[in-house]
Structure 1
Amino acid sequence: MKKVPGQTVKAAGILLISGEGTPAHFLLMRHRDRWDLPKGHCEDGETFVETALRETEEETGIPQSAISLDPDFQFDLKYQVTYKNYGDLPFEKHVRYFIGFVRDQPALTLTEHESAQWWAWDPPNAPIQSETIDPLILAAQQHLS
């Protein structure tokens, strides 16, 4: 997708939770210097849900058919970003996260991350990433309780 200054860049991802009925674990992906969730940019004409499912499958190898999205939860974040190819021009980024449930802890095929880890679902976990992951987990905990 070609970006235009002033344009809102859309992205979506999933907080994957294992366990049937009661959350047991959640998945975090490891970049070189931080933890993250499976997520990515929306392609032209793609909905947030379509993006979240596609990106999660691409980054984890978990098929979309194995993920059950919570229809009553979405968590939106908006913040400014810059991209190397666009110099210092600011873009607004709008990321929508969903809760997705999977049975057990499926085997992962990582394509964009160094590693991944299933963390025990015991919010509040130690601070992980204060701008995105921590508030998302808190909102998910409140929603699920």
Structure 2
Amino acid sequence: MAMYDEISAGAVLYLKEEGPEIKYLILNYSYGHWDFPKGNIEAGETELETVFREVSEETGIKDIQIIEGFRQQIEYKYRKKSKLVNKAVIYYLAETKSRQVVLSFEHNDFGWFSFEHALMKLSFENSRKVLRNANNVLTCLYSN
């Protein structure tokens, strides 16, 4: 058994419109924090299957394309009732063409944000680090 009590997978989801501007999707969870779409990996699922399912469930977006070579894992602990939970989250980088978001009951709000605005919106430093790395990859990808 892994040292993690929970493993989630999610996506740094972005939209590229005309010109250089890249917008990132950040969700406002019902607990109040802002973060990327993600959720627990279910039995028998691969990480990527979880990413597609969770993005679809949480945002209604189904057309996502995974950008090869980006897989970032973050780890943290949180309390669930009185138990300390060791959590890992694996993020992939994915592009969509869909602007329209249909939020699940788990979320209050969402936004498509520029890199700088998304950095300010994200509640957790480990998520900001993932975003910085994703933005570096995309900057290289689109600068050719």
TM-score w.r.t. structure 2 length?
0.81
Map 1:12-27 onto structure 2 (within 5 A). Answer: 12-19=9-16, 22=20, 24-27=22-25
Identity over aligned pairs, percent:
28
CA positional deviation for 1:125? 3.7
Greater displacement, 121-130 / 67-76 = 121-130
CA positional deviation for 1:124? 8.1
Greater displacement, 52-61 / 75-84 = 75-84
CA positional deviation for 1:42? 0.8
**Corresponding residue of 1:8:** 5
CA positional deviation for 1:50? 0.9
Map 1:49-128 onto structure 2 (within 5 A). Answer: 49-63=48-62, 66-84=63-81, 88-103=82-97, 105-111=98-104, 112-122=106-116, 125-126=119-120, 128=122
TM-score w.r.t. structure 1 length?
0.81
Give me the CA root mean square deviation.
Answer: 2.3
Task: Provide closer, same or farther for how the CA distance between residues 91 and 76 of structure 1 changes in structure 2, counting only shifts above 3 A.
Answer: same
Letter in 2 for 1:47: T
Task: Provide closer, same or farther for how the CA distance between residues 40 and 135 of structure 1 changes in structure 2, counting only shifts above 3 A.
Answer: same
Aligned to 2:39, the other structure's residue is in SS state strand
Unaligned runs of 5+ in 1: none
CA positional deviation for 1:24? 1.6
Contact 1:123 1:137 in 2 (8 A): no
What number of residue pairs does the alignment pair up? 135
The one of 26, 29, 33 equivalent to 2:27 is 29
Question: What is the alpha-carbon distance in structure 1 between the residues aligned to residue 125 and residue 4 of structure 2?
Answer: 22
Letter in 2 for 1:24: I
Question: What is the alpha-carbon distance in structure 1 between the residues aligned to residue 111 and residue 24 of structure 2?
Answer: 8
Greater helix proportion: 2
Aligned to 1:70, the other structure's residue is in SS state strand
